[in-house]
Amino acid sequence: MQHRDTETDRCCRMLLGDVFPNFEADSTFGQMKLHDFLGDSWGVLFSHPGDFTPVCTIELGRAAQLSPEFSKRNVKLMALSVDSLQEHHDWSKDIMAYNNTEPGSQFPFPIIADDRRELVEKLGMLDPEEKDRNGMPLSARCVFVIGPDKKLKLSILYPATTGRNFDEILRVIDSLQLTAHNRVATPVDWRPGNSVMVPPRIPETEAATLFPAGIYTKDLPSGKK
């Protein structure tokens, strides 16, 4: 993990392969400790700029609709913003109503209350362009995918003004889970069921044994196929 920890710049950016900090936080599911919450599951920790705002409401609504898809893949979702626990509880009712969910049903994943801004600052999840009424930067739309080994597998950082695509987040999880267990890479715009690619470090002779169903190669001017 790369540490920059001066008085003016207190961020500790996560790099691929870093063990995610086992932070403790208050959430709508109670006090949580990241590694215990994850157990043997994968995790997606994603931040949003603020409760009761339109893009965030629709984004968390979409994540809630897709939560069975994340569960099917053994992935636990966690949202986070710098709002209070009470605001998260109140707002999650709005999100459920926006989704036309049956009244009284529980919001399907925890929303972390980082109202002391400890996690957003530590994990570099702030958008300096978007400020709250007090001039403090809002949280950006950050996505961290964490593996069952608690290591960071993927991160994406969107500014507050650009909503995410949760279908894309599911797509990359499918790729991450496939490539964690198989010596393959997934090409551009890949979807489950499409062809995969042989990583360049596997020699052609070994690939022929690894993939007896056959490999397609194309001759190119460099001669490298």
Is 11 part of the annotated catalytic residue set?
A: no
Q: Which amino acid is at 20?
A: F
Q: Which residues bind ligand BEZ (CB under 6 A)?
A: 49-50, 53-56, 130, 138, 160-161
* E strand segments, 3-100: 4-5, 10-11, 24-27, 30-33, 42-47, 75-81
Give the nearest distance from C-beta 88 to ligand BEZ in angstroms: 14
Give the nearest distance from C-beta 45 to ligand BEZ in angstroms: 18
Give the nearest distance from C-beta 155 to ligand BEZ in angstroms: 20
Give the nearest distance from C-beta 158 to ligand BEZ in angstroms: 11
Sign of CA dihedral 86, 48, 144, 164: positive
Question: Which of 55/185 has CB closer to ligand BEZ?
Answer: 55
* E strand segments, the chain: 4-5, 10-11, 24-27, 30-33, 42-47, 75-81, 111-113, 126-131, 137-139, 141-146, 152-158
| Token pair in block for residue 64 | 């809630």
Question: Which of 87/130 has CB closer to ligand BEZ?
Answer: 130
The whole-angstrom separation of Cα 194 and Cα 163 is: 27
Question: Which of 106/162 has CB closer to ligand BEZ?
Answer: 162
Question: Which of 48/76 has CB closer to ligand BEZ?
Answer: 48
Give the nearest distance from C-beta 160 to ligand BEZ in angstroms: 4
Question: Which of 79/138 has CB closer to ligand BEZ?
Answer: 138
The whole-angstrom separation of Cα 76 and Cα 161 is: 25
CB 25 within 8 A of CB 119: yes
Vertex 176: Cα angle to 175 and 178 (nearest 5): 65
Catalytic residues: 56
